[in-house]
Chains A and B, each alone.
Chain A
Amino acid sequence: MRAYFKFELIHFMTNKKNIAIYVILLFFACFYAIKIAPSFDPIEKVDKDEIEARFLTREDFLNNVVLDENTYPLTRFAAAIYPEWNEYDKQRLDALEQNDMKKYAESTFKWYEYSDSMIFRNGKGLLYYNPRYYTAGNLYATEDGHYAYMYSASRYKGYSEGNSDLSINVFEERTALQTLQRMLHGYLPLILLVSCILFTSDIVLKDKRNPTLIKGFPLSIWRRLLVKGGVALIGSILTIIPLLVGFIIIAIQSGVGDFQLPVPIFSYETRAFTSISMGSYLFQNALLILFWFLLLISMLLLVSIILRNEFANLVVGCIVVFAEFYYYVRGLGFVKDIQWYPSSYVQVGQILSGYREYLNNSTTLTLEYGLLVMSGYTVICLLITFIICNQRWFKLL
């Protein structure tokens, strides 16, 4: 079995298609690190001018407002809420002036908490989140802003309570680890899963090109498939290497970050954020992606022995990965048990940060459910494959 593993690994690593995938990933990683990451423009950024402009405007208002029986109610409302708000902005400006990052984090946490409570609970229709949430066609701009402010509050709270080295890059989530976190929240899991599909789609069927060389190997079909699956898994995990190049470039530009940095996690049940360390968050991502790899590989091995067509493998793999785009509607989890569909877990970073719970109004789109669903489907696929492979009539080639 070891010899066959070595044999399959050599083939995997010398396969032109696989090399091309690694090269494309390397290109993307470098392109992202050199062109896209530096131009990242977060909505919640550290903008001294913006804070100062807001502070001075409100300060001016508070200094000049006359409150009497004729004062318009909204003016009274503003006069009531601005002092505390401005106090936080003042603290933030002072902290930036003094380059006291800890103090900035503490006051910014309070600012976000207070802002969200004012805008979401008290100021609907009167107060607004950052205008960049109010894009054309976004019916959920307020909800997006609410989530972002809660997220930022939790994040800054974590910074103020933690021992990590703080910097503007950390606050704006520009460090290499935070960029990785953002990418895991975005399309990186999809890229990894599609790579896994591409690696696995031909791992069984390539043997059709060299049948007489392989057919007589003294190894059972089941074991051969296990080895092929293992090789595809290793190959999929090795996608880390080209991506690591991009990570290093970002680390040189903006710093590595810290594994102890807080990552806010939303719980739909409590409607609140808690935070875990960056290290734990990345580990959980790796775990769920690993289970995704196992599911895709076992499923494609099964499809390979049933349909025996590489294109069918690609289609089936892509359907599973992209199915969520077809059925996803905001809040769907409230009416449908989407937690049992593997495709509901494709946005790995969003699942782990709780963002999917928030979007789907669901309490069950969690890591635990994800692992359960992935492992369940993986076991089913492997079991069917095992049964088919051990039928006397079954031939792999």
Chain B
Amino acid sequence: MLELKNIGVNFSGRDILKEVSITFHPGEIIGLVAPNGTGKSTLMNVIMNYLRPNSGKVLFNNELEYTSKKNEVKIHQLVSMMPDQSDLYNHLSGKQHLKIYSSMWNSNPELIERTIEDLGMASYVNKKTGTYSLGMRQRLCFAMQIVSDTQIMLMDEVMNGLDPTQVEIISQILVKKKAEGKTIIIASHLLENLEKYANRIFFVKNGKLDLIEDIYKDLGINGNLVIRVKEGTPELKEKLSQDFPELNIQLLSNSVTLIDFPKDDDGKLERISAFLSDHHEQEFSVGKMTLVDLYSKYYH
């Protein structure tokens, strides 16, 4: 179990993390979502003790803290962070990288072959990483963390440079690891993918971690159901607001117009539908607000 207690990080007078307190449990995948530079990586660096927070502490399994260098070694047995693909040793093969990570964490060596197979790396794993494409390097970095087999795994932009098939394979492995009781914290911009397998997703804003369920509630959106107009314009929003003043209508940064689903329908939905058809807006749908829309709305 990983517990953050009142973590505060401040750079040049700017609060990157503000009094963050949260607990991550075994068998949980946590998604961290935010625009670049809002504190996701900072949070991971604090968990790894690469960065000392200005306030607060990180607690592992209710007992271990970064109070000494000895403890740091013990903690790093439990937690690992996925390496950056640009840091791979170009003169070593992928398999050598995997062996290094496996031996450093003294994990089961069989995991190497299993991971190579799971990730479909057999055809290139013995070649030097200098010859790898971005996607191959990214897969190797992920594989390295998997073979380290730590209890807590931190992954920053794990899906970068991967094609949809690979994203799916990695997602499956993550689900498997979750089932093994690992705590996995992922910072990602692939929101739809994250939404599929993450137990909890947090948006990071103003130094705080906000759970998306809480954000939905705070936004007061009716049961999260919205009418979603794919190609919205300020003019459309203006007209909708005039015709339906009682509805909450928002134009998001991704050009989607969200219309709060009417509580007391009494034919309102048909009227909205007719209105949109009249204004040549054929592509609209009714349903739960997507994470992408929420993200756009939240960081608007």
Contact = CB atoms under 8 A, between A and B. Distances in A.
Contacts of B87: 209-213
Given A7-B100, A14-B91, A216 B48 contact: yes
A72 interface: no
Contacts of B285: none
A219 interface: yes
A218 to B, nearest CB: 4
A210 B89 contact: yes
A271 interface: no
A362 B81 CA distance: 59
Interface stretch (B2-10, B68-76, B201-209, B261-269): B68-76
A218 B77 contact: yes
B73 A219 contact: yes
B187 to A, nearest CB: 14
Given A212-B83, A213-B88, A213-B89, A218 B105 contact: yes
B130 to A, nearest CB: 12
B253 interface: no
By DSSP majority rule, is chain A's interface helix, strand, loop, or mixed?
A: helix
A213 B104 CA distance: 11
A216 B88 contact: no
A74 to B, nearest CB: 75
Interface string A357-390: 0000000000000000000000000000000011
Contacts of A212: 81-84, 87
A116 to B, nearest CB: 59
Contacts of B50: 215, 395
Contacts of A390: 69
A210 B69 contact: no
B233 interface: no
B84 A217 contact: no
Interface string B77-114: 10111111001110110001000100111100000000
B178 interface: no
Contacts of B82: 212
B230 interface: no
A3 B106 contact: yes
Interface residues of A, number: 25
A6 interface: yes
Interface in A189-248: 209-213, 215-222
A76 interface: no
Interface size class of B (residues with CB under 8 A): 20 to 34
A221 B70 CA distance: 10
Contacts of B80: 216
Contacts of B88: 210, 213
A219 B75 CA distance: 10
B94 to A, nearest CB: 13
A216 B76 contact: yes
Given A210-B88, A210-B89, A217 B104 contact: yes
Interface string B159-177: 0000000000000000000
Nearest to A207: B87
B24 to A, nearest CB: 17
A209 B91 CA distance: 13
Interface in A1-40: 3-4, 6-7, 10-11, 14
Contacts of A7: 100, 103-104
A392 interface: yes
A326 interface: no
B70 A220 contact: yes
B288 interface: no
B77 A392 contact: no
Contacts of B72: 220
A325 interface: no
Contact of B104 (A219, A220, A395): A219
A3 B100 contact: yes
A208 to B, nearest CB: 10
Nearest to A15: B91
A95 to B, nearest CB: 61
A14 B92 contact: yes
Given A14-B92, A212-B81, A392-B68, A218 B103 contact: no
Interface of B: 48, 50, 52, 66-70, 72-74, 76-77, 79-84, 87-89, 91-92, 96, 100, 103-106
Interface of A: 3-4, 6-7, 10-11, 14, 209-213, 215-222, 389-390, 392-393, 395
Given A220-B73, A393-B52, 18 more contacts: A3-B106, A4-B104, A10-B92, A11-B89, A210-B83, A210-B88, A212-B87, A213-B83, A213-B84, A213-B88, A213-B89, A218-B73, A218-B74, A218-B76, A220-B69, A220-B70, A392-B66, A392-B68
10 contacts: A3-B100, A6-B103, A210-B83, A210-B88, A211-B87, A216-B80, A216-B81, A219-B104, A220-B70, A390-B69
